[in-house]
Amino acid sequence: MKDSFVGVREEASILFAYGLLLMKQQDLQEARNRLAKGLQIAHVQMGNLQLVSQYLTILGNLALALHDTGQAREILRSSLTLAKKLGDIPTQIWVLSVLTGLFQQLGERGNQMENDEYRRKKFDELQSRLADARSSIYHIELIDKVKLQVQQFHEIDMKRTMAGESMRVNLDIPESVGLSTPMPVPSSSRLVDLDTGRRGKRKL
């Protein structure tokens, strides 16, 4: 039975990446169409609020690129509110960075400074959380577990490589082990020998 949810996830991811590519190629209207479709999938079919927040952020950035500052402000505020609710600090930092561009475009110096200060605060918070995670015993145990798995995979690959070389040696015997192989007798030599034998018999 096909897992339709897997297909939905893939489609949402593809639309997100394709939307970014279209933006880079300056095909902004088509990018908006693709991203809007991906947002609908993320919200209605998947219910993935984190992905919804990320879609909103890129759509807000797109609205800013189209100089639709009113829509950009509305979308980015929604994205920031959702990211705060989810505790998604990386997305919050991303939204705040886009908001900085919005305030610059609008000439709102006060909002820009306040926004930058809040973004730096969130960045410091993220670095602090990452440092806590790295020093956690659970993180250390996880790293050790991954290292062990990598070592085991490496050993398996080595065994497979050695087994493959052994098979090639067996298939190449006798040349691969240095045994000399008798050269095939040319057909002309065999004919000469046969003819010589017949002549000898006639003399007898």
Distance set, CA 37 to CA 25, 43, 50, 80, 118 (Å): 19, 10, 16, 21, 32
Instruction: Give me the pLDDT at residue 159, please.
Output: 80
Q: Tell me the pTM.
A: 0.64
CA dihedral 71, 77, 83, 86 (to 10 degrees): -120
Q: How confident is the model at residue 7 (pLDDT cuts 50, 70, 90)?
A: confident
pLDDT of amino acid 98: 95
- Tokens 């085991």 — which residue? 152
